Amino acid sequence: MNLNDKYFNLCYTKRIHEFAKIDSFKKWEKGQAKEKYRTIDDFYLDELQIDLENLKELRNLFKQYDELYRRYRQNNIERNELFSDYKKLLKWYNDQNECCNYCQISQADLFKIVSARNGNLTLNQKTKRSKGTLEIEKLNPNVGYTPENSVLACPFCNNAKSNLISENDWRTFFTPAMKEYFKNILADENR
Ligand SMILES: [Zn+2]
């Protein structure tokens, strides 16, 4: 395992961010990590045999992955497979240009709509979906979150399509309307 993979394993697979996790990872008695290390960083330096500069470089290297992890994976265990290989995850994400896979609206345009609606995408002030972040949608709901079966989708497409309309039917019947709808909102925005 190279250094990047080792870091990834500790930070995202084993999710070692507290002393108790170190104890169980090292198969130590409870409390031993706390005696040995002053901070969690000290554990990383020791375990990876690197200095603080190297650790900063590693964190920087995983910056985009970390952002995506916080946004989409955090407590969503179902998405483990999609996030288990950081190179594949970043390729999967970046290949989509931060656009809805159906209607092609970009993340930047979604944020424009959010600010046009005074900071809340939803019309009834409910917080879910209010920030206008692109969501991860499974093309085939009966298959897991693999890179092949997952796409970015805007909250509009994802919510309206739901599990009632198939991927192909959504593209055929509703995507053109979505595009028109957004064109209209964004034209108002620019006026
Ligand atoms: Zn869309």
pLDDT, tens digit, for every residue of 72-106? Answer: 998 899 999 999 999 999 999 999 999 999 999 99
Rounded to whole angstroms, the Cα distance separating 153 from 104 reads 8
CATH of domain 92-190: 3.30.40.220
What is the model's pTM?
Answer: 0.87
Partner residues linked to 153 by β-bridges: 135
Instruction: State the distance from the centre of ligand 1 to the C-alpha of 148, rounded, in angstroms.
Output: 18
| All structural domains of the chain with their residue ranges | 3-61, 92-190
Give the count of beta carbons closer than 10 Å to the beta carbon of residue 161. Answer: 20
Instruction: State the distance from the centre of ligand 1 to the C-alpha of 140, rounded, in angstroms.
Output: 17
3-state secondary structure of 137: strand
Triad 25, 31, 35: Cα angle to 5°? 100
Instruction: State the distance from the centre of ligand 1 to the C-alpha of 137, rounded, in angstroms.
Output: 11
Q: Which two tokens stand for residue 86?
A: 């950081």
Instruction: State the distance from the centre of ligand 1 to the C-alpha of 12, rounded, in angstroms.
Output: 30
Contact 149, 138 (CB under 8 A): yes
Instruction: State the distance from the centre of ligand 1 to the C-alpha of 3, rounded, in angstroms.
Output: 39
Q: What is the mean pLDDT of the chain?
A: 93
pLDDT, tens digit, for every residue of 128-172? Answer: 778 899 999 998 889 999 999 999 999 999 999 888 998 999 999
